[in-house]
Amino acid sequence: MELKYGCNPNQKPASVYMEDGKDLPFEVLNGRPGYINLLDALNGWQLVAEIKKATGKPAATSFKHVSPTAAAIGNVMSARLKRAYFVDDIIGLDKSPIATAYARARGADRMSSFGDFISLSDTCDETCASIIKREVSDGIIAPDFTEEALEILKEKKKGHYVILKVNPDYVPAEIEKKQVFGVTFDQKRNDVEINKECMTNIVTTNKDLNEDALNNLLIASITLKYTQSNSVAFAADGQVIGVGAGQQSRIHCTRLAGAKADNWILRQSDKVLNLPFKLEIGRALRDNFIDRYIAMEDTLESLSEFDFTELFSDRPDIFLIHEKLDIIAKAEDIALASDAFFPFGDNIDRAYQSKVKYVVQAGGSIRDSQVIDTCNKYDMVMICNGIRLFHH
């Protein structure tokens, strides 16, 4: 398949093909996929297929630049979460697990998901398509589409929205290849299966791991398998709520993912949900302001740069720092996964600030005992599963 260009417009020609001459494992139903679109689609499809296999529930992910912004299973959403994700008006959402999964994946980090590529583990239905219709998105890959969903999606982007139908039975070759600087690399495909059996080596004093926490750890770990390393993911309520990707230092991964998790918690607060936006203000502008509003210092001067008459029917209240800390302190049952071992206990200290209760990591550091001691100090449950998940 000839592509418009590679990663950048100057990288021509560009194409994708199967070296064995067989058909590609997906069919283009609409649009013209680009190089990065296909990288996002093929990584995202693997991610959601593995989450469904591990949890038994429909899954979705929102990808940007070859890393997931979030991933989720189709757990029914609370009324507050629906409001925070701008899907409280979607009719039939609770009856569509795949639509709920995507609403969660898109809503967890709406700033990063802007212009995403979507992957679904199950058939895209009309309810899911109705959510996608009004979001800025480049394309979607799924095993199938209902006629109603396909009709809705084909209207996006003036008829150019990329729609890919994947062959769910396709199994890639055991050896994969890539080229860098004209040099060919090959390696065994990372076919490690992350499942409940990987979550049995609990090394902390607290060993109380319930089913919901286990699912959160599975979702976070599988997400990391397809996230540019180094990477750390926070998860809660059946979805990833913060991804720290592509950082050279693990503590910076943890800080980045933790900041996104804090943002997720605060977006559901009354202070944010009740911001007096004018009715005509779109979701993208609301997202942009909400992100900045949460990050503001608690001074009157911090609000002075905004022209409130453009966005609001009334001047918003300042979100005081102590209010934010109090809200975050009430969070519960948050899980954290790392794609390799934690070299120092400072990662756990930062995780605790975001109320992490459950941790999974590879283990194997010379300071494992320090990391375990830090978890015990906070009464966390930590698993060392011996699985490194670097993805480059």
Please name the amino acid found at residue 61: T
Extract the tokens encoding 204: 């902390």
252 catalytic residue (yes or no): no
Q: Is the dihedral of CA 310, 315, 318, 324 positive or negative?
A: negative
22 catalytic residue (yes or no): no
Q: Which of 65, 154, 157, 252 is catalytic?
A: 65
230 catalytic residue (yes or no): yes
391 catalytic residue (yes or no): no
Extract the tokens encoding 62: 């929102």
Q: Which of 64, 82, 156, 324 is catalytic?
A: 64
Q: Which of 22, 158, 330, 392 is catalytic?
A: 392
Burial class (CB in 10 A: 0-12, 13-18, 19+), 137: buried
∠151-155-157 over CA atoms, to 5°?
150
Contact 309, 332 (CB under 8 A): no
* Cβ within 8 Å of residue 276, ≥6 positions away: 312, 313, 314, 316
- What Å distances lie between residue 207 and 203, 306, 335, CA to CA? 8, 49, 14
Extract the tokens encoding 172: 């890639």
Task: Reduce the DSSP state of residue 201 to 3 states and report it.
Answer: coil
Tell which residue, 294, 289, 286, 285, has the closest CA to residue 264.
Answer: 294
Q: Which of 30, 230, 263, 347 is catalytic?
A: 230
65 vs 373: CA distance, rounded Å: 37
Q: To the nearest 10°, the Cα dihedral for 160, 165, 170, 171?
A: 50
- Point out the residues that are catalytic: 64-65, 230, 392
